[in-house]
Amino acid sequence: MELTGAQRIEAPREAVWQALNDPDILRQCIPGCQELLQSSPTSFTARVVLKIGPVKATFSGAVTLSDLDPPHRYRIAGEGQGGVAGFARGGADVRLEPGEDGATLLTYGAQAQVGGKIAQLGARLIDSTSRKLAGEFFAAFARAVAPDARESLANASPSAADEAAP
């Protein structure tokens, strides 16, 4: 499966780059993320709960960053095991370009493979779920990185910040 897209983020490229490497921000933005720990400057471990059609599973895995060219681009690769539900692995090339009015244009091209029960659900369901999850992530990421959104989340009570996170 291949997935491409772009997202305009109302923040300078350097701020977007820092957020893409900040486990706290990523944890808030990744749908179903229960844990994201940085084990080195270029690697993370994660635990994510996902529901794809009738299959709900907890995936544990590792993510590695490579081909780093701060603050322009990097490659992210990961693999997760979901027990009897199966596995997912893939990667994405992420690029940041200066946009108009101080914003940043984030573009990505991703490839993924799945196996086990989730692979039996069918390509259309997996594809639509992947697009939905990517959309949720980038919408949450854009809100978290934009200066006005970060300021309002920082000033909000913990319960309000939890409600704002997807």
What share of the chain in percent tops pLDDT 90? Answer: 73
Number of domains in the chain: 1
- Region 18-39: mean pLDDT is 95
pLDDT by residue (tens digit) across 68-106?
999 999 999 999 999 999 999 999 999 999 998 999 999
In-domain check, residue 133? yes
- Residue 96 falls inside a structural domain: yes
Residue 161 is assigned to a structural domain of this protein: no
pLDDT of residue 161: 40
- Kindly report the number of other CB atoms within 10 A of residue 157's CB atom: 8
Q: Identify the three-state secondary structure at position 114.
A: strand
Residue-level pLDDT at 102: 93
CATH of the domain at 145: 3.30.530.20
pLDDT band at 18 (very low <50, low <70, confident <90, very high): very high
Q: Residue 160 falls within a domain, yes or no?
A: no
Which ranges of the chain would DSSP assign to H, the alpha helix? 13-20, 23-29, 123-145, 147-155, 158-164
Question: Residue 35: which domain range?
Answer: 2-151
